[in-house]
Amino acid sequence: MAVRGKLKDISLASLISVNCNEMNQARLEVWHNDQEAVIFFAEGNIVHMTLGDMEGDEVIHELLAWEDGEFELEPGIPAPRQTVQTPWSTLLLEGMQRVDERSTELAGLPEDLEPDVPATEADNHAARLRSVDGVTGVVLVARDGNVIAAEMAADPEKEGAVAVFVGSAASQIGESLGLGPFERGVVETLGTKARLLIVERPDFYVGLLLAERASPALVAAKIASILR
């Protein structure tokens, strides 16, 4: 049976995340103003997308900018063909970055515009968090994806994008399913031992790269006083 809803109640990123994580075979139709897009899921990934004459990976860059509209999800519908090969998580991360860049350009603001959190305070937080035993890198990132401060050898933009994507998607899924607010979670990169502990704050997310044998729960307890 098809499920209908509004994007204001559950975002497109959350719909994609749920269907891919649950390994659903389904067709998702989305309407925004006079535009209609279709996404097909199979075996834990997006396999086909269309928007007007456009199809494939590029469709996601347009769809993630749709903040309102309606959708209909119908399970059990196979894709007519495969036009998408990229993993769904990569598609969402790249798409969200593209939407952020476009929003910055439209607003006429420089990409390195400082967020509301004072840089000196943010830098101090990052330095104190980095000194915690078991933490090998720190990034503080605003909800719009701008990196506020970082103390890491890895790419802070990449780790910050992961923190924002996972944190915002987990929050929306938790709210839609009545699971309560997202507080923290751990993401492990496939094929590596790299782990990122993500902690949500009222105005930003914290991403903490963990040492190989570090306990996420223990690190979370140690940083609680710093983030008060």
**What is the reported pLDDT for 102?**
65
Please list the ranges in the chain whose pLDDT falls under 50: 109, 111-114, 117-118
DSSP 133-165: TTEEEEEEEETTS-EEEEE-SS-HHHHHHHHHH
**What is the reported pLDDT for 90?**
85
Domain ranges of the chain: 3-107, 119-223
**What is the reported pLDDT for 36?**
96
Q: Tell me if 67 sits within 8 A of 35, measured CB to CB.
A: no
Give the torsion sign (CA, 184, 185, 187, 188). positive
Give the torsion sign (CA, 63, 203, 175, 222). positive
**What is the reported pLDDT for 114?**
46
Quote the CATH superfamily of domain 119-223: Dynein light chain 2a, cytoplasmic (3.30.450.30)
**What is the reported pLDDT for 106?**
55
